[in-house]
Structure 1
Amino acid sequence: MIKYFWKQRAFWDDVEQEIKINKPKKIIISSAYLSLKGVDYLKRLFEMSNLKKEDITVYCSTDLHDSKPADILQELNSFSSIRLVVQPFLHSKIYEFHLNDKVILYNGSANLTDGGISRNLECMSKSVVENSPVSDFWEHLSDISVEVTKEVIALYQTYQRTFPPRVIKKDEALQSYLEKIKQNQQKKKSYPDLTAFYFDVEDYITVSKEWYKVASSEAKKRRKGIQDKLLALHKEIEPKVKNWDLHPHYHSDYITSGINPSDFNHGRVGAIWVRYGKHKDELNPYGGVVKKNRRGNKDPIEQFHKHACLQVSFSTIGIDLGLFHSTAHNGIDRYHVREHWNEIKKGIDLNYQSLIGNSFVWHFYDAKTDKSKYHFEIDKGTVEEFLKFYLKYDEDGLESFCMRHYPLNDERIRTKNNIVEEALKTFKALMPIYQVMTFRIPVSMR
């Protein structure tokens, strides 16, 4: 049986009566417009029913109020979940209350405003059913809407301060911003739950294809957050690896790799890392004036990143720990291995067993296409097979490195301490090979 309400406040009086008697488990509302007074009405229901914030969901249009949208969103967000439907314009008015054994549905013309509830001549119907008759509609709204977060409220606060009433709803830039936020939120759904992980979903999105070429202040701020987390790891790692005669970049500004797109990273920041390798005195072993080419760049031997390093690398698919052996061009230790191959392959043969059981993969990687061109899984091959692989595929134009990969939700990288522990364990396993395949100058001769 369907019941109708058209007298002022009759529909809401019925709602409050149902709340008092039945104490709903969940409330879902769709309203084109909201007002602070309407939010107060809903807050009273929230207090009467002893619900939690996640038990109340409100869908509304992006044009929810002419002059005070931020105030409304902030107040509503204090006790409920809010979602803004970006496109098309949301015009429905539905109030659904889930009880223990039934669902009460109110549907009609009344918005969650003082006018809709107590002043206007509205018409609302009431149905009592076993299950929600509009569950598909709620699912659809969830798919096309933006969750109201602090970021969304801040956006509306900016518009509320800047624009006069009625201009907000016509502003295309606001709609564009909200659409981008929606896309970002939808992307986050494809990631696993990283609650309590050191690196969160926003960090991984920041180095994804969606962001890695962006040079805006927002992109730089996001990358700076990742950089700060890597520097916090570095603070724990550096004292330990110094005992192995491993050192970070000699200049404090370059402890991590760059966080802005440039020619050096092919115009994208798809990963950010910190490396440990040779002491600065090994980069200029003969002293004297640093040689520079016509463009003002240092000779390759002077450049820290041209030398082999042990590395902690953060990318959009997780963390990689291991040995970065050579840049695509002018890799100092690549030339060292080539020039002393017969001697070095004996050292690899003697120390290869230390790599087994660590899931190491040696890659020859094309940075231009962002793809591993050739790779060798250490655990699945013999030392003879690896030596043939290395000799066949090592070539200028490809980066060379040996890494173990940790997926972004791997429990071994949940906390900062976990990551530090895994990094040190990985570096220890790689040290014999690192020493074999790099040119080092003894401390006494530096």
Structure 2
Amino acid sequence: MTLSIIDTGKFPRLEDMTKSELIQHLKETVKPEEGIIPAYIFSHPKVYELEMEKIFLKSWLFLAHKSEIPNKGDFVTRQMGEHSVIVTHGSDGDIHVLLNVCTHRGMKLCRMDHGNEKSFVCPYHGFNFKNTGDLAGVPFQKEVYGDTLDKSKMGLKEIRHDEYAGLIFATFNEEAVPLDEYLGDIKWYLDLAFNRAEMEVQGPPMKWVVNASWKLGSDNTISDSYHTLVSHGSIAKLGLVPSGDYSKYGYQIYTGNGHGLNLGMPNPHFAFPEELTEEYKERLSPEQWGVLEKLKNMIVCVSPHMMILISSMDFKGKQVSNTSFRLWQPKGPDKIEITQWQIVEKNATKEWKELSNQTNSLTFGASGIFEQDDSENWTDITQNSKGAYHLQENTFFNYTQGMHKKPVDDFVGPGIAYENKFNEANARAFFRNWLDQVTAE
């Protein structure tokens, strides 16, 4: 992280700005193409409020993997920005995303993380809703309402949703482009994680809280392989990876709409179950199989706040890959709840699944080696971005790495690809997309 100062005069307090003034201030101070990202955007409450309105109310947001709710009645509760939703496998056989708010008096309806229920009963007055969202029953309805209550108009609010590769997304924005268009070319890479074989999640997700900006997680995912040399240098010393600069080799790719990835390759060893090779070849295109066959790691950001990771390492005498995905769920301007899932090939052996889970727990997750380093970095950066001084002097972070580099035109996958992952081109593109979103009319 490099701190610099722009001599542009004194700035008024953001707390005193109207929304239009704040938007204008962002347009004038955030300059992604120049690699200038002001410190204040990572922690200021006014910026966070704008993000909740302009990004998390407008974008497609990942919620769940379909294998989490395989049976009728299965459900999970998740967050969409500041709002709780219930993702259900309804008794009608369909997937439903329901606002977790009783339509009678606004009580939170379901307080469990997951389960199987035919209906949800409000703990306030006992209104009973089917797992499809329909209002099924009201205590003493005839006595207290007579004939005035129309239950057909009081079902739970159903949120627009769609899915790709078993991933369930939803949006509050009825005017948003279709999910397929929103994801665009990033789907080619999602296939490597979720469509290479029949996949299944390994139990409920792990959750923990970090005192950091959600944007730092997405920024780190989409662009920053460079920090691995220093922040994660201990893994090379432990012999878990060949050398400290192993993270440099491969490609950085941007696919649009704030989505992008770092692709580590080549890998001299095949990091996936050999017995599933034919399944991989059947489900993937020849070009995708060619990438998977040589894949060392892949770190994908689906904007705004989803990360997908394929990682591999030498473990117990063999090369073992693990696949996980997570959300950087905002809990305030300086706090995130990280929710992480582990996913594995359904047809893999029990031994492989255990090895894959063990390598993931060793490296990522609340107790992982990588996780401790990253959390410390993001916590400090978020804390250091606060304060009147940074607003007064317009302190900014330097995102100019790789500006002298040109994309390559011979990579087999879609997107704007740069050879060598030490580059901040993706971060500049991510923050351009972020700025366009928060300043949109």
Query: TM-score normalized by structure 1?
Result: 0.22
Name the larger-Rg structure. Answer: 1
Higher relative contact order (CA 8 A, sep 6+): 2
TM-score, normalising length: structure 2: 0.22
Larger relative helix fraction = 1
